[in-house]
Amino acid sequence: MDTDKTLTDLRSWFESSLGEHVLAAEQAILNQLLPGCFGYDLLQLSLQTDSLFDASPIHNKLKMGILPEDPGAFTGTAMQLPFETDSMDVVLLHHLLEYYDSPQQILREVGRIALPSGHVVIVGFNPLSLWGAYRPMGQLRSLAPWCGRFIRPGRLMDWLTLLNFKIDRAQYTTYGLPINGYSGAIPDYRQGLSRNANWPFGAVYVIVASKKVSRLTPIKPVWQRQRAFGRLNIVRPVANQGVNRHSRRDGHPEKPVKPIKPDDLD
């Protein structure tokens, strides 16, 4: 797969009327989910040059360019993110895993830079949908977005679990056909996500996962159990060989000591 060409075609598709419809539905979900992800730093990894994180309460928000011609302060590759380990509170991954040969490597990088208790928000196309059924026809003509390898949400959740993430939520949207005017209406999520249908065969899924905190297992010292005075030898008493317990050193018996009475003190 020519990744740069595929990503360029995908960006052009999002500028079409059908792509704008999908992006609007995704943005409506993100506007409800991102306010619940707190922290100090947020990173957006997406082909979109516009911000998808305006609803986030995080102050420091970054957008990394994916293609060399992307505007912005810096560009990089999703396969090797130019950030320190445990440096991001929230990572927003928008439609990238499907268009790289090694999506697991991207997830490993995202897991590396995510802080413990931090969040990862992943937006992707669902193969278990009407759009997934249409994908083989679009893939024959190498058309975006069908040229990507759609990843099942269950498989993606398994990968996240192996990377020490806990799945917090999976939200689905866009249940219509991949045709202009037949892709369905954009749900109104302003009253909450739970007020709308969330069937697992929507064309788009948004998965929120939190990185687990590693707990250190204390190693208890192995104490050697020894009896008190275990190193002391017991001295056996020597038997008296005909010596009276009141004998003096010269062999004569000692006189018994007469107890002192109170009258003797007068």
pLDDT in tens, 160-193: 999 999 999 999 999 999 998 888 888 888 888 9
Q: Is the pTM of this model over 0.85?
A: no
For residue 251, is it within any domain? no
For residue 10, is it within any domain? yes
Alpha-helical regions (H) of 15-116? 17-33, 103-113
For residue 239, is it within any domain? no
For residue 98, is it within any domain? yes
pLDDT digits (tens, 9 = 90+) for 110-134: 999 999 999 999 999 999 999 999 9
**Residue 117: which region, alpha, beta or left (left: phi > 0; alpha: psi -120 to 50)?**
left
**Residue 251: which region, alpha, beta or left (left: phi > 0; alpha: psi -120 to 50)?**
left
Residue 170, strand partner residues:
207
For residue 198, is it within any domain? yes
In CATH, what number is assigned to the domain containing residue 122? 3.40.50.150
* Domain carrying residue 114: 3-211
For residue 99, is it within any domain? yes
Count of the separate structural domains present in the chain? 1
Write the CA distances from 144 to 57, 94, 96, 107, 129, integer angstroms. Answer: 33, 15, 13, 22, 17
pLDDT tops 60 at residue 48: yes
